[in-house]
Amino acid sequence: MTHAPAPALFQHAIAALTEVLRLNHPADAALSRYFREHKQLGHRDRGFVAEAVFAILRHKRSLEALVLPQVNARRLLLAHLACHQGLDAKALEALLRHGEAELVEHLQQRWAAIGRGEDHFDPSGPLGLSAPAIALDLPDWLYQRLLAQYGAEETQALVAALNRPAPLDLRVNSLKAERNAVAAQLAKDGIAATPTPYSPLGLRLAGKPALSRHPLFMDGAVEVQDEGSQLLGLLLAPKRGEMVADFCAGAGGKTLLLGALMRSTGRLYAFDVSEKRLNNLKPRLARSGLSNVHPVRIESENDARIKRLAGKLDRVLVDAPCSGLGTLRRNPDLKWRQDEKSVAELNAKQTAILNSAARLVKAGGRLVYATCSLLQEENGAVADAFLAAHPDFVAVPVADILAAQGIELPGLEAMPAGRLALLPHRHDSDAFFAAVFERQAK
């Protein structure tokens, strides 16, 4: 049973939500900043605020439709507490201003009627499209794209999964630990962990325990990494002693996995244009025990240091900058922060980076293009255009690469050869896309 927050906590939730809803920073960064500036909030209070803010971001469009015509953080929070948490006017009494008890009653009645199919969100958009988009809490442009790609039924299931919070997945560092031993150690410490369904290195935790001070984390035996992200590294499958590049390494989520798959041998370049992100890789690298990783800040995908490596690398991963719409379970603000223009800009960047990274791959070498997007234009369309422009590259069957590692993934047979699409409603991971290519000998 959920209880109403104390009035002071309610005010904090409104203030934090107001900051986050400006949408000019990622929600998790805006929220962390709010907590840094309000140190009096304890662990449980922060939990309440974060949960409310993220739930409202997930369901912003339908909540806005409910509280119209006056949309503000206070009314959205009341609507969340009344509709999602089932708190009625009596339970919320201590928080309500004049006239708000009626508002809460009205919201609850309308919400229940919508749930029974006796009421609906107003079909205000072109062709009546807005009504389903409001119900699914998507902007119209994104709803239309998903509908065109997946059809009405699958869009429903996909978006329902995207609108639920994600579990916390860990990757076991195979250089330092073994999955069963890690699970047993976590169980001893009261943290339930089960093996992830596909990645042989993954553990899925029940709930969201704080791990940053856990010895397994501090010693680099585990890292936080969604199972889907682990599978992308496993698709590159670098071997001992190889020359490898993680072209868009960021803070190294995949770099660390690749380095461990190489058993800390060979040479693994971690390229990125962002100094800040590469700096965030450093402490993780120190924990991991890897000595084969070479972080290099590059000016752009055409940096001279890239050109010097042309034709020399065995494996190259391009984990391209993308809309991130596949991670809406964790970053629900992205659906309100991206738009058609930002996607088009990212698209041009993706093609430029992939073309440049491909030059590094030697004959017989493997290139993986990956995103955490759901959109065909950032995924299959980029891979198709790449293949059309690069006849020396061919698609490599994903099922074979995974089968060699004992991984069986449902739905692969429906994908074009050389392509992988992970989807939250099918694979219980964030949505990821990958295309695997091999360079033919001339």
Ligand X SMILES: C[S@@+](CC[C@H](N)C(=O)[O-])C[C@H]1O[C@@H](n2cnc3c(N)ncnc32)[C@H](O)[C@@H]1O
DSSP summary character for residue 83: I
Structure tokens at 201: 């290195």
Round to whole Å and give the CA distance between 385 and 25. 33
Among 248, 261, 382, 383, which residue interacts with ligand X (rule: CB under 6 A)?
Answer: 248
Three-state DSSP state, 159: helix
Q: Which residue is nearest to ligand X (CB)?
A: 253
Identify any residues that bridge with 203 across adjacent strands, giving them in sequence order. 170, 195
Q: Which is nearer to ligand X, 172 or 251 (by Cβ)?
A: 251
For position 271 contacting ligand X by CB under 6 A, the verdict is: yes
Q: How far is the CB of 357 from ligand X (least distance, A)?
A: 8
Residues 6+ apart with CB under 8 A from 326: 228, 371, 372, 373, 374, 422, 430, 431, 432, 433
For position 247 contacting ligand X by CB under 6 A, the verdict is: yes
Tell me the residue ranges of DSSP E strands in 273-378.
293-297, 313-319, 361-371
Sheet of 222-224, strand order: 193-195, 202-205, 168-172, 222-224
Q: Is 319 annotated as a binding residue?
A: yes
Nearest to 166 by CA among 138, 205, 199, 193: 205
For position 107 contacting ligand X by CB under 6 A, the verdict is: no
- One-letter amino acid for residue 401 of the chain: I
For position 223 contacting ligand X by CB under 6 A, the verdict is: no
Q: Which is nearer to ligand X, 110 or 329 (by Cβ)?
A: 329
Q: How far is the CB of 431 from ligand X (least distance, A)?
A: 13
Sign for the CA dihedral angle at 142, 148, 152, 157 comes to negative
- One-letter amino acid for residue 284 of the chain: R
Task: Using the rule CB under 6 A, give the single segment among 10-18, 19-27, 204-212, 298-306 that binds ligand X.
Answer: 298-306
For position 253 contacting ligand X by CB under 6 A, the verdict is: yes
Among 273, 381, 385, 396, which residue interacts with ligand X (rule: CB under 6 A)?
Answer: 273
Q: Is 272 annotated as a binding residue?
A: yes
Q: Which is nearer to ligand X, 180 or 300 (by Cβ)?
A: 300
**Is 248 a residue of the active site?**
no
For position 395 contacting ligand X by CB under 6 A, the verdict is: no
Cis preceding linkage at 69, omega within 30: yes
Residue 15 burial (CB < 10 Å; 0-12/13-18/19+)? middle
Task: Using the rule CB under 6 A, give the single segment among 2-10, 130-138, 205-213, 273-281 that binds ligand X.
Answer: 273-281
> Do 317 and 233 meet the contact criterion of CB atoms below 8 Å apart?
yes
Per-residue interface string for the shown chain with ligand X, residues 316-335, x marking contact by CB under 6 A:
---x-x--------------
Task: Using the rule CB under 6 A, give the single segment among 115-123, 246-254, 373-381, 398-406 that binds ligand X.
Answer: 246-254
Task: Using the rule CB under 6 A, give the single segment among 3-11, 33-41, 270-278, 389-397 that binds ligand X.
Answer: 270-278
Cα–chain center distance at 70 = 32
Among 272, 333, 378, 428, which residue interacts with ligand X (rule: CB under 6 A)?
Answer: 272
Among 249, 260, 268, 421, which residue interacts with ligand X (rule: CB under 6 A)?
Answer: 249
Contact residues toward ligand X (CB under 6 A) are 229, 247-254, 271-274, 277, 298, 300-301, 319, 321, 353
- Binding-site residue positions for S-adenosyl-L-methionine: 272, 319
**Residue list, annotated binding site:** 272, 319
Q: Hey, which residues are catalytic here?
A: 372
